[in-house]
Amino acid sequence: MSKIFLPRRRFLQISGLSGLGLIMGGCGAPWFEQEVFRATEPFNQSIEALLLNPNKLIPEFPLSSIEPDALLVNTFDRTPVIDPDKFRLKINGQVDRPLTLSLSDIHKIEPVKMTIRHVCVEGWSAIVGWGGVRLRDIIALSQPQKGIGYVNFKSADGYYESWDIVSALHTQTLLAYEKNGHPLPIDNGAPLRLASPIKLGYKQSKWITEITLLKEKPKALGYWEDQGYEWFGGL
């Protein structure tokens, strides 16, 4: 397993914490993101809307509307055992800089919070406050090659998912490590899970260990998708 050592100064520079401004903030999208938006075919209305305005923010809820008991644990098999000190997140695939990040590396990236509704297709929903980092900030660190269209996520329980890159780069798609102001409980996906207001619950992988950037759509689409669930899974 190759581990790329990222000196702290370099890490802060490329993650936009150096004071030079966020790589992907406000006015300027990075070159790879512009490439991505040119390269991705619009395949349905939701993605067309995102392509027209990729940074359109989904309205969030006030903290007072959080429903602390409404998020049901929904796990296809069982909760995996993960040692936070030994935990490493891998970012690889068609990238110029494959990364292996510890949790303390991830905590150096600008933290964000959002309060959104989680919707499970099994017929329940919950307003949840998530805290973590933007997935796009992590993806940017890996320096994706031109023409990336998809992202694959591997989880410690054997769950797997794939997303379109546009949804993965949305400002409100987070790798979350907090739920409702507290460290993310293990049953909800600690140390790292996806949280996004633009995707259904089954797209939001818990216990993520590996993120793979791809030009081609993967053959294995996702744990539930490969049993018939719709792949885009937009909200």
User: Please, which residues bridge with residue 130 across strands?
Assistant: 114, 179
Tell which positions 116-145 bind Mo ion, by CB under 5 A: 120
- Least Å distance, CB 120 to Mo ion, is 3
- If one asks whether residue 159 binds ligand MTE (CB under 6 A), the answer comes out as yes
Q: What is the chain's length?
A: 235
- If one asks whether residue 71 binds ligand MTE (CB under 6 A), the answer comes out as yes
Residue carrying structure tokens 């390269």:
39
Among 189, 191, 222, 233, binds ligand MTE (CB under 6 A): 189
Tell which positions 200-219 bind ligand MTE, by CB under 6 A: 201-202, 204-207
- If one asks whether residue 180 binds ligand MTE (CB under 6 A), the answer comes out as no
Residue 212 binding result from ligand MTE, Mo ion, none, given CB thresholds of 5 to 8 Å by partner type: none
- For 117, 124, 142, the CA distances from 207, given in Å and listed in that order, are 20, 21, 20
Here's the x/- map for Mo ion, 67-106, by CB under 5 A: it reads as -------x--------------------------------
Tell which positions 18-57 bind ligand MTE, by CB under 6 A: none
User: Please, which residues bridge with residue 210 across strands?
Assistant: 90, 154
Residue carrying structure tokens 């509307």:
65
208 close to 140: Cβ distance less than 8 angstroms: no
Between 79 and 143, CB nearer to ligand MTE = 79
Nearest to 153 by CA among 96, 225, 84, 103: 225
Question: Phi, psi at residue 12, to the nearest 5°?
Answer: -65, -35
Quote the tokens at residue 150. 């998809």
Residue carrying structure tokens 């929903």:
125
CA dist 103 and 169 (Å) reads 21
User: Please, which residues bridge with residue 194 across strands?
Assistant: 175
Kindly state the helix (H) or strand (E) to which residue 229 belongs, with its residue range: none
* Eight-class DSSP state of 234: B
Kindly state the helix (H) or strand (E) to which residue 45 belongs, with its residue range: helix 45-52
Between 80 and 98, CB nearer to ligand MTE = 80
Tell which positions 78-137 bind ligand MTE, by CB under 6 A: 120
Here's the x/- map for Mo ion, 33-72, by CB under 5 A: it reads as ----------------------------------------
- If one asks whether residue 155 binds ligand MTE (CB under 6 A), the answer comes out as yes
- If one asks whether residue 63 binds ligand MTE (CB under 6 A), the answer comes out as no
- If one asks whether residue 202 binds Mo ion (CB under 5 A), the answer comes out as yes
User: Which residues of the shown chain bind ligand MTE in the complex (CB under 6 A)?
Assistant: 71-76, 120, 155, 157, 159, 188-189, 201-202, 204-207
User: Which residues of the shown chain bind Mo ion in the complex (CB under 5 A)?
Assistant: 74, 120, 201-202
